[in-house]
Structure 1
Amino acid sequence: MAIAYLNGKIISSNDPVLPIDERGHQFGDGVYEVIRVYNGRVFMMPEHMERFFKSAEAIKLNVGKSSEEIMAIVDDLIERSGLQDCDVYMQATRGIAPRNHLFPNVPASISMTVKPSKHVNEEVRESGAKIKLLPDERWQNCWIKSLNLLPNILAKQEAFESGALEAVLIRDGYITEGSSSNFFIVKNGEILTAPATNHILHGITRIAVKEMALELDIPFREQAFTSDELLAADEAFLTSTTQEILPVVEVDGQKIGNGKPGEVVKKLYELFLEKM
């Protein structure tokens, strides 16, 4: 069953518990993580925890708990939920205090939910996804997994309204990433993806793909590429915690490669499934 946690209390995920003066609600003043659980096993938990605390440090947020304490809460929630395949959402905000732009002297607010995993439509996974290219209008520190996601939401919605699954973003002439995913192309058997700068989220599944490429002896290069290079690619795919590794076959109505999922992304996804 779906279950939730708020500042030490186990609650229903449907309970109305958010205080009006919660700074995540008022300002988006916080950070978050989404973690996947397969067969009761948390996927790449240390990497998620490292990113969570780096994001908190970047916005000068003292979470008030150690990584070990957070992981213990996650394990307890998963056990209480009885779910074997689920998504864990966690967030930390700067707490509950009267609205004021300056930091309040209050404890951080920590919340989590555990819900059944979201799954990509199997037809999309088999045939490949469509994407739409849009300008990257986000701020300069996209590596911080903050609650401020309005530009991402607007891009995702525009892509959806055009019949695409994802918006892939362009900054200064180069592709950065998707609105909620990292993005890759394959050319002549080599995987290319944007470097892990401040302009992209340093994705956890992105890390897994880099490791699996090495294992499969597939060249992997972190190098910026343009929309023209995308259109000339043999394959393309995106990654995220909830979408895993998903082939992309069309961009703005134009086919990528032969318009079908390619062999490289198939090999990566097969190996990914073996590791679950």
Structure 2
Amino acid sequence: MRTVYVNGDYLPEDEARISVFDRGFLFADGVYEVTSVLDGKLVDFPGHAARLQRSMDELAMEAEIDMDDLLEIHRELIRRNDLTEGLIYLQVTRGAADRDFLYPASETPPTIVLFTQSKPGLAESPMAKTGMKIVTIPDRRWGRRDIKTVQLLYPSMGKMEAKRAGADDAWMVEDGHVTEGTSNNAYIVKDGVIVTRHLGEEILHGITRKAVLAFAREAQMKVEERPFTVEEALAADEAFVTSASSFVMPVVEIDGQTIGAGTPGATVARLREIYLDEMRKAAI
């Protein structure tokens, strides 16, 4: 049985409890991060910690969280759960208060929850060799997608729609342009150029995205940060997604149409190799 963390306590998962008045439960008034664990170490924890603070700031969550303490909680969960390869989920909500649309008093303590998910073979996913199949759906989310909130109903609906269509995931489309995947950033490769949507309020500022683009530029690959259309994606040589849990994952089919040769391409394979090598070295 897993040990989880709830508001200062390490507990068996079946003993963990959250108030029915928690605003994360009532209003989706919370933010989260997912950090990968490889070889028992945290991948890009500083990036996730910085984005967590940014998300809290954007929602005017006044709770003070010491990031050194948060790092130690992550490490303690790794130790207690003997986690070698997998994920650590972290969620912070505005806390528990009687139901009211107005924020509760600033002294209301936040709710902080962390738990682990063991994923043996996370870095050796078979899908990295076969590639993903994608369907496109309209992007019907709220406008502040740059804040990593727990409002994940529409992405969940998108993943279910993809499953019903016999695909692995969905890319969301707004005004004819791809924004991002349901839980990942989206990319295409054309004539050796990597194209992905620029940062803004329309997409999540991916931690893996940031690292992958930096590694791509260091490897002398050309990168364009701009919107791209579904038509461009269908005509691409390669396509892929990035996220903390899938790293760099090739896409070989979109809306039933084969992308490029229909197999993972050299650019994506190289980026995945570089990313995993470099992040294993930097893991803490």
Partner of 2:91: 91
The alignment partner of 1:102 has SS state of coil
CA distance in 1 between counterparts of 2:124 and 2:163 reads: 15
Aligned AA (1:195): H
Q: Which residue of 1 aligns with 2:118?
A: 116
What SS class does the counterpart of residue 233 from structure 1 fall into? coil
Contact 1:125 1:247 in 2 (8 A): yes
Shift of 1:76: 2.0
**In structure 1, what is the Cα distance between the partners aligned to 2:62 and 2:119?**
29
- Once residues 38 and 127 of structure 2 are traced to their aligned partners in structure 1, the CA distance between those partners, rounded to angstroms, is 21
Q: What is the alpha-carbon distance in structure 1 between the residues aligned to residue 146 and residue 214 of structure 2?
A: 20
Closer, same or farther in 2 for the Cα pair 1:121/1:75, shift >3 Å? closer
CA distance in 1, matches of 2:46, 2:238: 31
Q: Does 1:59 align with 2:62?
A: no
| Equivalence for 1:50 | 50
Q: Does 1:201 align with 2:178?
A: no
Deviations along 1:22-80, one digit per CA (max 9) or x if unpaired, are 11111111100000111122111111011001001111112332222222222222222
Report if aligned partners of 1:63, 1:92 keep a CA contact under 8 Å in 2.
Answer: no
Matched, 1:129 2:132: yes
Mean CA deviation greater in 20-29 or 121-130: 121-130
Aligned partner of 1:104 in structure 2 is: 104
Question: Which residue type is aligned with residue 235 of structure 2?
Answer: A
Give the conservation status (yes or no) of the 8 Å contact 2:6–2:16: no
Q: Which residue of 1 aligns with 2:268?
A: 265
Q: Deviation at 1:202? A: 0.7
Distance 2:196 2:260 in 1: 17
Q: CA deviation at 1:204?
A: 1.0
Residues 2 and 116, structure 1, Cα contact 8 Å, conserved in 2 = no
Q: Tell me which stretches of 4 or more aligned residues in structure 1 moved more than 6 Å.
A: none
* SS of aligned partner of 2:13: coil
Q: How far apart are residue 117 of structure 1 and its match?
A: 2.6
State the TM-score, normalized to the length of structure 2: 0.93
Cα gap change, 1:122 to 1:64, in 2 (>3 Å): closer
Tell me the residue number matched to 2:253: 250
Find the counterpart in structure 2 of residue 21 from structure 1: 21
Residues 64, 107 of structure 1: 8 Å contact kept: no
Question: Structure 1 residue 131: deviation in Å?
Answer: 0.1
1:16 CA displacement: 4.8
The C-alpha deviation readout for 1:231-276, integer Å capped at 9, x for no partner, is 1100000111111111000011101111111110011111123222
Is contact 2:187-2:239 (8 Å) kept? Answer: yes
Paired amino acid for 1:201: L
Residue identity matched to 1:75: R
> What is the CA RMSD across the aligned residues, in angstroms?
1.5
Contact preservation (8 Å) 2:4, 2:16: no
User: What number of residue pairs does the alignment pair up?
Assistant: 276
Structure 1 residue 10: Cα displacement: 0.4
Q: Against the structure 1 CA distance between its residues 120 and 26, is the aligned structure 2 distance closer, same or farther, given a 3 Å change threshold?
A: farther
Q: 2:237 aligns with which of 234, 239, 260?
A: 234
Shift, 1:120, TM fit: 7.8
Encode CA deviations 1:185-233: one digit per residue, 9 max, x unaligned.
0000110000011100011111121011012211111011101110110
- For 1:24, what is the secondary structure of its paired residue? helix
TM-score, with structure 1 as normaliser: 0.96
